[in-house]
Chain A
């Protein structure tokens, strides 16, 4: 049982990670009060990714997990990347629909009703 013994994280590590998570929460709430245009989304999602990494690596112990577990975890996010990446590539490179043109397309789709 010696092998699993050294995997137990110390109490200070958990408290530190919790402190960081709460600090990131405060940062994201404060950042949202400023109008930074497109940067608001970038900042909010970057902070979310940082929080997610802390939770996955430390709270979910992936940091100390086997290589096989790493592959399983990575597979989940690679597929998520494909899903989001390919779909959004499509939508962002189409002829940019304005709210009006989207509405007009909807009218055509409905046979002009509504």
Chain B
């Protein structure tokens, strides 16, 4: 029992508490990190609404079975949060086989999320909306929609195009940084899977599962806000 508790802690409970608090301290910085991007997004959406409206229509138009890719991805991530929660529960109860199953399920769902994201990026690349020099060539349909909007709102066409391009800068940064967090999460859960296979986690000692679970839930939390902001807000 005393092996479980590092010498700086009074008891196991205090040690677990310190781990949770440490993770939440990191997550607080993450809240502000994503919050800054969301704040910028909100301001420009307010200033450049007509152009950004056209952008969010394109984000939302990749559909499978009539449901947008963003909604599918939200479902995938919410399901992965359930498997993480059940995995943490299994670790607490000492059910190692359930823990292993839940970790594998989480990893598969995480990879599915990135796969869907890759399909979206590919789609957007072919629409010509990646905001990079030499790549940003919105196709004819998008251009004529933008022209129409420019006429309707009496906005200079080239400004509208720049505002439209800025939407995509925000879109790719916000989703890209989120996807990077997913990749890191998949790395962490691969580590958990290897350790769980060695039987490293017991009802007394599973702080790693719990703390990395918090991280995964947080990445899900970010997507819960990115989905309506980028896909649904018209």
With A18-B82, A44-B232, A55-B81 already in contact, the answer to whether A99 and B48 are too (CB < 8 A) is yes
Answer whether residue B122 sits at the interface, using C-beta atoms and an 8 A cutoff.
Answer: no
Answer whether residue A83 sits at the interface, using C-beta atoms and an 8 A cutoff.
Answer: yes
Tell me the interface secondary structure of chain B in the complex.
helix
From 20 to 39 in chain B, residues with beta carbon under 8 angstroms from any chain A beta carbon are 20-21, 24-25, 27-28, 31-32, 35-36, 38-39
Answer whether residue B194 sits at the interface, using C-beta atoms and an 8 A cutoff.
Answer: no
Residues of B within 8 A of A97 (CB): 47
Partner of B31, one of A14, A25, A45, A76: A76
Q: Contact: B85 with A80, CB < 8 Å?
A: no
With A72-B24, A84-B35, A100-B154 already in contact, the answer to whether A8 and B17 are too (CB < 8 A) is no
Q: Contact: B228 with A80, CB < 8 Å?
A: no
Residues of A within 8 A of B155 (CB): 99-100, 103
Residues of B within 8 A of A66 (CB): 17
Q: Contact: B78 with A52, CB < 8 Å?
A: no
Residues of B within 8 A of A76 (CB): 24, 27-28, 31-32
From 22 to 71 in chain A, residues with beta carbon under 8 angstroms from any chain B beta carbon are 22, 25, 28-29, 32, 35, 40-41, 44-45, 47-48, 51-52, 55-56, 58-61, 65-66, 68-69
Q: Contact: B24 with A73, CB < 8 Å?
A: yes
Q: How large is the interface on B (under 10, 10 to 19, 20 to 34, 35 or more residues)?
A: 35 or more
Q: How large is the interface on A (under 10, 10 to 19, 20 to 34, 35 or more residues)?
A: 35 or more
Task: Select the stretch in B86-94, B173-181, B184-192 that faces chain A.
Answer: B86-94
Closest chain B residue to A26 by CB distance?
B71
With A69-B17, A73-B24, A102-B48 already in contact, the answer to whether A55 and B156 are too (CB < 8 A) is no
Q: Could you show 5 A-B contacts with beta carbons less than 8 Å apart?
A: A4-B13, A40-B234, A44-B232, A59-B217, A103-B156
Q: B residues engaging A (CB < 8 A)?
A: 12-13, 16-17, 20-21, 24-25, 27-28, 31-32, 35-36, 38-39, 42-43, 46-51, 67-68, 71, 74-75, 78-79, 81-82, 84-86, 88-89, 92-93, 153-156, 158-160, 163, 203-204, 213-214, 217-218, 220-221, 224-225, 227-229, 231-234
Q: A residues engaging B (CB < 8 A)?
A: 1, 3-4, 8-9, 11, 14-15, 17-18, 21-22, 25, 28-29, 32, 35, 40-41, 44-45, 47-48, 51-52, 55-56, 58-61, 65-66, 68-69, 72-73, 75-77, 79-80, 83-84, 87-88, 91-92, 97, 99-100, 102-103, 106, 114
